[in-house]
Amino acid sequence: MDLPAARGVPTVAEQPLEFTRLLYMLSQDMDNLTRHADMKAQIILAINAILTATAAGQAPAWDSASGLQTIAFAFGIATLMLMIGSVYFSLRTVLPRRVPPHDSQPRNLFFYEDIAGMDERAFVQKFEAQTLPELRMAVLTQAHAKAGVAQAKFDNVRRAVGLLFAAVSLWLLGRVLSALI
């Protein structure tokens, strides 16, 4: 593989970087991704609420336990369980998760919890005392942490959508069976 250093081209680590622009770009990208995942989760929650209201209003009466009626009822129960799963994963997306601190790692001065854990004077002094390599590492570490949060959020959204799709499919099948009763 033809590496840049082998060709005499400086690597990213060797280049002076304009950290304000880099921080802004990385931070905004990760923040936009997390907001996008949160918005999707909120839409899924709204669809679940609408489906719940619709399904509750159209639940078949349980007069006699005919075969089709029993199957339609089972589809209704399965739909409810799938919707509960969808709501669960949507809420896991929206609700913030606290990552336990690692005592062995130094504070990252771009992470809100580490900043809030220091008094103002100590934060300013520690931030200003950083070397450029330390600053570069802090920016990149925070971008990586935010990417992990975004990935977890989108994993939960993917699960919520899958469960919601299955719930809607079963609900529709139950409605067809109810119409045949």
* The pLDDT value given to residue 162: 97
54-81 burial, b if ≥16 CB within 10 A, otherwise e?
ebeeeebeeeeeeeebebbbebbebbbe
pLDDT of residue 49 exceeding 70: yes
pLDDT of residue 5 exceeding 60: no
Mean pLDDT of 81-97: 89
* The pLDDT value given to residue 85: 95
Q: Which two structure tokens, joined as six digits, stand for 95?
A: 């609700």
Residue-wise pLDDT tens digits, 96-122: 665 555 555 667 777 778 888 889 999
Residue type for 150, please?
A: A
Kindly list the domain boundaries of the chain, sorted by start residue.
19-96+106-180
Cα three-residue angle 54-60-61, rounded to 5 degrees: 130
Convert 82-147 into a string of H (helix), E (strand) and C (coil).
HHHHHHHHHHHHHCCCCCCCCCCCCCCCCCHHHHHCCCHHHHHHHHHCCCHHHHHHHHHHHHHHHH
Q: How confident is the model at residue 82 (pLDDT cuts 50, 70, 90)?
A: very high
Share of the chain above pLDDT 90, in %: 27
Residue-wise pLDDT tens digits, 132-145: 888 878 878 888 88
Residue-wise pLDDT tens digits, 121-131: 998 888 888 88
Q: pTM of the entire structure? A: 0.73
* The pLDDT value given to residue 98: 55
